Structure 1
Amino acid sequence: MTFVNVGTLGVHPGARDAVVAILTRRNRDLETAGCLLYEVGVNDDAPDTVFVAELWVSAEAHQASLQLDSVRAAIAEAMPLLSGPMDGYRFAVTGSPLRE
């Protein structure tokens, strides 16, 4: 069953664009690991927040991706830019009106 992780990352003032740049670097390892969608966004009404939406083939694939060297390197690079507040939702997909 496909798995979704939708969340927000709090970033230090002025660090939003740097975090976006880290998270949007091409990473083919994610595809190989089972990532179907990884979208990063911003909202000017929340200048110290980065929004992320991920769709995975399974929750296990998402969890396993956190052990990939490329993912661990991106996390390590982004961590000093994060202010701490993280929020979000994780859920198993039960259906969609866009596919059967």
Structure 2
Amino acid sequence: MTFANVGTLETQPGQREAVVAILTRSNPQLAEAGCLHYEVGTSDEKPDTVFVTELWTSAEAHQASLQLPSVRGAIAEAMPLLTGQMDGFQYEVAGSPLRD
């Protein structure tokens, strides 16, 4: 069953675009690890927040991806730009009218 991870990352003032740049770099390893969908977004209403929506083949695939060197590198690069305030939720996807 598909696993969803949806979250927000609070950035240091003025660092939102730098975090977006890190998170949106091409990373073919994510697809190889089981990532089906990875979208990064922003909202003018929250100028220091980055939104991330991920779909994975499984919760285990998502967890394993956190050990990939490319992912660990991106996390290490982004951490100094974040406040440490993160929020979100995870769930098993029940279905979609867009897929069989």
In structure 1, distance between residues paired with 2:56 and 2:70: 17
Q: 2-side partners of 1:66 and 1:89: how far apart?
A: 17
Aligned-pair identity in percent equals 72
Tell me the SS of whatever aligns to 2:63.
helix
- Offset, 1:41: 0.2
SS at match of 1:98: coil
Matches within 5 A, 1:61-80: 61-80=61-80
Aligned to 2:31: 31
Q: For the residues of structure 2 that align with 1:37 and 1:10, how far apart are their CA atoms?
A: 21
State the shift of 1:99 in Å: 1.9
Which has the larger share of strand?
A: 2
Q: TM-score, normalised by structure 2?
A: 0.98
Residue in structure 2 matched with residue 16 of structure 1 by the alignment: 16
After TM superposition, where is structure 1 displaced by more than 2 Å over at least 4 residues in a row? Answer: none
Q: Which amino acid aligns with 1:22?
A: I
**Secondary structure class of the residue paired with 1:78:** helix
Distance 2:76 2:82 in 1: 11
Segments of structure 1 that go 5 or more residues without pairing to the other structure are none
- In the alignment of these two chains, the number of paired residues is 100
Deviation readout 1:5-48 (Å, 9 max, x if unpaired): 00000000000000000000000000000000000000011001
The gaps in structure 2 that reach 5 residues or longer are: none
- Opposite residue 72 of structure 2, the aligned amino acid is R
TM (norm. structure 1) is 0.98
